[in-house]
Amino acid sequence: MNARDDVREAYASWAATYDTDRNLTRDLDGTVTRQVLSQLRPATILETGCGTGKNTPFLAEIGAQVVALDFSPEMLARARSKVQADNVFFAQADLTRPWPCANACMELVVCNLVLEHIEDLGLVFSEAARVLVDGGRFFVCELHAFWQYEGKQAVFQRDGEQVAVPAFVHHISSFLAAAEAAGLALVTLGEWWHAEDEGRPPRLVSFLFEEQLFRNKQVNR
Ligand SMILES: C[S@@+](CC[C@H](N)C(=O)[O-])C[C@H]1O[C@@H](n2cnc3c(N)ncnc32)[C@H](O)[C@@H]1O
C-alpha cells in the first residue's frame, strides 16, 4: 500500500471518534478558521478535505453555496449525517488528482488539516488557483512546521494502540513557493497556539492567498 491508501485506511478507522476525541489541534483549527474568515461573504466555497464536516456549517453560514470534498467515504458519511444544510453538496474526491470542479467557479477555497497527508503541494495549489475566480481567496490552515519538527502529526487511539496517520513535513517556504508557482499572492499569514500551548512552538500556521490571474496577465502582456 502507498501512503495515500494508508491515510485513507487510517481515516476509515478514525471517522467514528474524530469528533469526540480530545484533539486540541482540531479545536484550534475551528477557532482560527472562524476568526480569519468570518468577515468574508463568498457566493461559492470549495472545502477540500472536509472530513466529518467540522467547519462545514460555518462555511454554509458565510457562503451561499458550499461544495465539500474528501476521499474518505467514512469521514464523508459522518459529515453528511451531521450537516444537512440545503446549500452544501458533499462529494468524494482525491485531492491528489485533478479536482472535479470547473475553472474559475469558486470565490473561496479552504483546506484545513489536510496537507500534512499530501506530499506534493504543487497540484493542490495549482488546482486551487484553477478553480478560483480572479480575486478569489485560498485559505490554508495546517500544522506549523515548527510543531512538526517536534515529531507531531495526526494520531488517534484504536483498541488501546496509538495510530499515527502518514504525514509529510511542509516548511513555511514550501507553502509560499507552491503558492507563487500557482500565481497565488499571500494576503495574511498567522501562527497559532492553543491556550494550553504556552511556551511551546506554534501549533498551526494559516495562510490567506489571493488569486491574481487578471493582474498577472496584465503584467505579463
Ligand atoms: C485531520 S482531517 C481534517 C478534516 C477537516 N478539514 C477538519 O478540519 O476537521 C484530514 C482529512 O483529509 C482527508 N484527506 C487526506 N488526504 C486526502 C486526499 N488525498 N484527498 C482527499 N481528502 C484527503 C482525510 O480523509 C480527512 O478527512
pLDDT digits (tens, 9 = 90+) for 145-163: 999 999 999 999 999 999 9
Using alpha carbons, select from 9, 16, 10 the residue that is nearest to residue 163: 10
Q: 218: CA distance to ligand 1 center in Å?
A: 36
For residue 178, count other CB atoms closer than 10 A to its CB: 23
pLDDT reported for residue 221? 44
Distance from C-alpha of 5 to C-alpha of 216, rounded to nearest angstrom:
38
The per-residue pLDDT for range 5-14, each reduced to its tens digit, is: 999 999 999 9
For residue 32, count other CB atoms closer than 10 A to its CB: 19
Q: From atom 14 of ligand 1, which residue's Cα is the shortest distance away?
A: 49
Quickly state the pLDDT bin for 109 (edges 50, 70, 90). Answer: very high
Position 218 pLDDT exceeds 70: no
The ligand 1 atom nearest the CA atom of 96: 19
Q: What percent of the chain has pLDDT over 90?
A: 94
- The overall average pLDDT reported for the chain is 95
CA–CA distances in Å: residue 203 to residues 84, 132, 159, 167: 31, 28, 27, 15
Q: 116: CA distance to ligand 1 center in Å?
A: 9
Position 220 pLDDT exceeds 90: no
Phi/psi of residue 140, nearest 5 degrees: -125, 130
For residue 40, count other CB atoms closer than 10 A to its CB: 15
CB 121 within 8 A of CB 174: yes
Position 68 pLDDT exceeds 90: yes
What's the whole-model pTM score?
0.96
pLDDT reported for residue 194? 98
> Where do the domains of the chain lie, and which CATH numbers do they carry?
3-220 (3.40.50.150)
In the structure, which protein residues have their CB atom closer than 6 angstroms to any atom of ligand 1? 4, 7, 11, 26, 29, 49-51, 54-55, 70-72, 75, 94-96, 112-114, 117-118, 154
The per-residue pLDDT for range 121-152, each reduced to its tens digit, is: 999 999 999 999 999 999 999 999 999 999 99
DSSP-derived secondary structure letter, 115: G
Distance from C-alpha of 140 to C-alpha of 34, rounded to nearest angstrom:
13
Distance from C-alpha of 168 to C-alpha of 219, rounded to nearest angstrom:
35
Name the strands in the sheet holding 204-211, side by side, starting at the edge strand that comes first in the sequence. 88-92, 65-70, 44-48, 106-112, 132-143, 204-211, 184-192
pLDDT reported for residue 214? 62
pLDDT reported for residue 118? 98
Using alpha carbons, select from 87, 46, 48, 85 the residue that is nearest to residue 65: 87
Distance from C-alpha of 164 to C-alpha of 31, rounded to nearest angstrom:
24
Distance from C-alpha of 57 to C-alpha of 61, rounded to nearest angstrom:
6
Instruction: Read off the pLDDT of each residue in 36-47 and give the average, rounded to a whole number.
Output: 98
Half-sphere exposure for 36 (CA within 13 Å, toward CB): 26
Instruction: Give the amino acid at 215.
Output: R
Look at the block and give the residue holding cell 504525514: 167
Position 27 pLDDT exceeds 80: yes
Q: 50: CA distance to ligand 1 center in Å?
A: 6
Instruction: Read off the pLDDT of each residue in 48-54 and give the average, rounded to a whole number.
Output: 98
